[in-house]
Amino acid sequence: MMILSRIRFILSGYLVLLCIATQSQASVLEDIAKKRGLTASDMRAALMTYTPSGKHDPYLMFASGGHAGSVLVIGLPSMRLIKTIPVFSPDSWQGWGTGSLDSKRILDGGGKALRWGDLHHPALSETNGVYDGQFLFVNDKANARVAVIDLRDFSTKQILQNPLFVNDHGGTFVTPNTEYIIETSQYNVPLGARYAPMTDYKKKYRGVVTFWKFDRAQGKINLSQSFSIELPPYWQDIVDLGKKVSDGYLFINSINTELASPDNMNQKPQLEMAVSRNDMDFLHVIDWKKAEKVAKSAGTQKTAGMKLITLKQAIQEKLLYFIHEPKSPHGVDVSPDGNYIVVSGKLDPHVTVFEFNKLKNAIAQNLVQGKDEYGVPILKFDSVLAAQIEVGLGPLHTQFDKQGYAYTSLFLDSAIAKWSLGEPYHKGNAAWKLLDKVSVHYNIGHLSCVEGDTAEPGEGYCVSLNKWAIDRFPNVGPLLPQNFQLVSTTGSEKMQVLYDMPIPNAEPHYAQIVKAERLKPWSVYPLGMSAETMKPSPVATLAGKERIVRKGNTVDVYMTTIRSHLTPDLINVKKGDLVRIHLSSIERALDATHGFAISRYNINVSLEPGKVETVEFKADQSGVFPYYCTEFCSALHLEMTGYLVVQ
Ligand code: K7E
Ligand code: CUA
> How far, in Å, from the CA of 172 to the mean position of ligand 1?
12
Write the pLDDT tens digit of every residue in 38-74: 999 999 999 999 999 999 999 999 999 999 999 999 9
Atom of ligand 1 nearest to the CA of 330: 4
User: Do 535 and 439 have their domain in common?
Assistant: no
- Is the distance from the beta carbon of residue 346 to the nearest atom of ligand 2 less than 6 Å? no
The pLDDT score that the predictor gives to residue 301 is: 85
Rounded Cα distance, 630 and 98, in Å:
13
Q: How many CA atoms lie within 13 Å of 364's alpha carbon, on the beta-carbon side?
A: 6
DSSP 531-543: TTTTEE-TT---T
Q: How many domains does the chain have?
A: 2
- Is the distance from the beta carbon of residue 330 to the nearest atom of ligand 1 less than 6 Å? yes
Whether 173 is in a domain gets the answer yes
Terminal Cα distance for the chain, rounded: 83
Q: Which ligand lies nearest the alpha carbon of 606?
A: 2
In 3D, which of 645, 640, 506, 639 has the Cα closest to residue 572?
645
User: Do 425 and 445 have their domain in common?
Assistant: yes
Whether 478 is in a domain gets the answer yes
Look at residues 490, 518, 546 and tell me which one is the last residue of a structural domain: 518
Atom of ligand 2 nearest to the CA of 593: 1
User: Do 309 and 425 have their domain in common?
Assistant: yes
Whether 18 is in a domain gets the answer no
Look at the chain and count its residues: 647
Between β-strands 496-503 and 482-488, what pairing exists: parallel, antiparallel or unpaired?
antiparallel
> How far, in Å, from the CA of 632 to the mean position of ligand 2?
5
User: Do 467 and 582 have their domain in common?
Assistant: no
Look at residues 518, 537, 571 and tell me which one is the last residue of a structural domain: 518
- Is the distance from the beta carbon of residue 129 to the nearest atom of ligand 1 less than 6 Å? no
Rounded Cα distance, 571 and 549, in Å:
11
Burial class (CB within 10 angstroms; exposed 0-12, middle 13-18, buried 19+) of 11: exposed
> How far, in Å, from the CA of 641 to the mean position of ligand 2?
8
Q: How far is CA 123 from CA 126, 263, 402, 450, in A?
A: 9, 36, 20, 14
Element (H, E) at 49: helix 40-49
User: Do 357 and 246 have their domain in common?
Assistant: yes
- Is the distance from the beta carbon of residue 67 to the nearest atom of ligand 1 less than 6 Å? no
Which residues of the chain register pLDDT less than 70? 1-23
- Give the CATH number for residue 539: 2.60.40.420
User: Do 119 and 192 have their domain in common?
Assistant: yes
User: Do 104 and 223 have their domain in common?
Assistant: yes
Three-class secondary structure assignment of 394-406: CEEEEEECCCCEE
Rounded Cα distance, 436 and 391, in Å:
9
Q: Is the peptide bond before 77 cis (omega within 30 degrees of 0)?
A: yes
Q: How far is CA 168 from CA 123, 138, 239, 365, 467, in A?
A: 15, 11, 11, 34, 20
User: Do 81 and 126 have their domain in common?
Assistant: yes
Rounded Cα distance, 417 and 432, in Å:
12
Residue nearest to atom 1 of ligand 2 (CA): 594
Rounded Cα distance, 281 and 183, in Å:
20
- Give the CATH number for residue 241: 2.130.10.10
- Is the distance from the beta carbon of residue 449 to the nearest atom of ligand 2 less than 6 Å? no
> How far, in Å, from the CA of 188 to the mean position of ligand 2?
49
Q: How far is CA 97 from CA 100, 405, 537, 606, 613, in A?
A: 6, 43, 19, 11, 12
- Is the distance from the beta carbon of residue 637 to the nearest atom of ligand 2 less than 6 Å? yes
- Is the distance from the beta carbon of residue 418 to the nearest atom of ligand 2 less than 6 Å? no
Atom of ligand 1 nearest to the CA of 509: 1
The pLDDT score that the predictor gives to residue 17 is: 47
**Residue 564 lies in domain:** 529-646
The pLDDT score that the predictor gives to residue 5 is: 53
User: Do 426 and 535 have their domain in common?
Assistant: no
In 3D, which of 351, 348, 347 has the Cα closest to residue 400?
351
Rounded Cα distance, 49 and 44, in Å:
9
Whether 10 is in a domain gets the answer no
Residue nearest to atom 6 of ligand 1 (CA): 445
Q: Which ligand lies nearest the alpha carbon of 592?
A: 2
The pLDDT score that the predictor gives to residue 635 is: 96
User: Do 603 and 507 have their domain in common?
Assistant: no
- Is the distance from the beta carbon of residue 640 to the nearest atom of ligand 2 less than 6 Å? yes
The pLDDT score that the predictor gives to residue 149 is: 98
Look at residues 494, 518, 542 and tell me which one is the last residue of a structural domain: 518
User: Do 247 and 133 have their domain in common?
Assistant: yes
